[in-house]
Amino acid sequence: MAFPKTRMRRLRASAALRGLVRETQLQAGQLMLPMFVAETATGSEPIAGMPGVERLSLAAAVEEAREAADLGIAAVLLFGVPAQKDEHGSGAWEEEGVVQAAVRAIKQAQPELLVVTDVCLCEYTDHGHCGVLRDDGTVDNDATLELLARTAVSHAQAGADLVAPSDMMDGRVGAIREELDGEGYSQTPILAYSAKFASAFYGPFRDAAGSAPSFGDRRGYQMDPANGREAVREALLDVEEGADMVMVKPALAYGDLIAAVRRATGLPVAAYNVSGEYAMVKAAAAAGHLDERAAVLEILTSLRRAGADTIVTYHAKDAARWLAEQS
Ligand SMILES: [Zn+2]
């Protein structure tokens, strides 16, 4: 039945009608706020390209977490910026490490707020790669697994609600699951960065976390942006290894894969709206080319529509404020 019997505009005539038939809802409780906790930071230090995002001292991180909780944001995702780095990234699993201390402090101050930890070695290795290196400079997959598992356990011990491995080593979800279970943390869920692409959109993050590789790049372990079927395979493998949630990262250029991973796995899916995506919106808004509020809410809604249950985004606090004003 087509025009003139069908008129699509009928249901667009008023805000009430549009609200009645809106297919996708966006709520603060679906957002996760990434935070950079730096051992050497005093207060909050600005990050180039990411206005409104800062490298935080422990005290500033607790304050930021309180703000997130007050705004109804579901979770914070912690990245550590340690004072010392070494070849193996041993700061990643230190009991008194920067992330472990932040988890304890935030959980004590905000017991209801979910604290998720990024599990990787790149912020802690002096070469900036996500695992230990062989003599030829490539990342040794199997030797890295044990270190990642040790790191995840140290996060769980500190009180992390979820651990989120982002390294893209093969077999790491299984290795982490086994170690967590063996150490008494069978109830700690794993949010796997399943389809993490070697993307040009991570630029500002690497400055923020001080994790740029000192040589080469990450294309030997992160995914080729051209590959969609492979992303689904990665997600399905993580499901088999015991992932509780899967992630697609970055988000904006990967909506097709958020949808595909959602269909293929049936697991809750997270999308990571990354630093470069944030920086683009901020820069365009600052130059007067975009209405920031409208653009951000449209972007986040589109990720929900693509199939993301949870969105990791640097816009989380602003979005939560805007959503509260709307309702
Ligand atoms: Zn990494």
**Which is catalytic among the residues 85, 107, 196, 282?**
196
Catalytic hit among 85, 249, 282, 317: 249
Q: Which residue has the tokens 């550590």?
A: 80
Rounded to the nearest whole angstrom, what is the distance from the C-alpha of residue 53 to the centroid of ligand 1?
Answer: 20
Write out the DSSP string of 28-84. Answer: GGGEEEEEEEETT--SEEE-TT-TT-EEE-HHHHHHHHHHHHHTT--EEEEEEE-S-
Residue 170 Cα distances to 109, 119, 154, 174, angstroms: 36, 14, 21, 9
How far apart are the C-alpha atoms of 275 and 208, rounded to whole Å? Answer: 9
- Give me the residue label for tokens 């607790």: 62
200 vs 196: CA distance, rounded Å: 12
Q: What is the pLDDT of residue 231?
A: 98
Mean pLDDT per 10-residue section of the chain, whose length is 327 residues: 97 97 98 97 92 96 98 98 96 97 98 98 95 95 98 98 97 98 98 97 88 90 97 98 98 98 97 98 97 98 98 98 93
**How much is the pTM?**
0.97
Q: Tokens for 212, please give them.
A: 């740029």
Check residue 212 and give its pLDDT. Answer: 87
Closest by Cα among 256, 204, 203, 246 to 225 = 256
Confirm whether 249 is a catalytic residue.
yes
- For the chain, the helix, strand and coil percentages under 3-state DSSP, each to the nearest 5: 45, 20, 35
Give the model's pLDDT for residue 209.
84
- Tell me, in angstroms, the distance from the centre of ligand 1 to residue 243's CA: 18
pLDDT value for 210: 82
pLDDT at 157: 98
Q: Could you tell me the distance, in angstroms and rounded to a whole number, from the CA of residue 313 to the centre of ligand 1?
A: 18
Distance from first CA to last CA of the chain, Å, rounded?
Answer: 36
- Across the chain, where does the E strand assignment appear? 31-38, 44-46, 54-56, 75-81, 114-119, 162-165, 191-196, 245-249, 269-273, 310-313
- Rounded distance from Cα 154 to ligand 1 centre (Å): 17
pLDDT of residue 208: 84
Q: Give residue 308's pLDDT.
A: 98
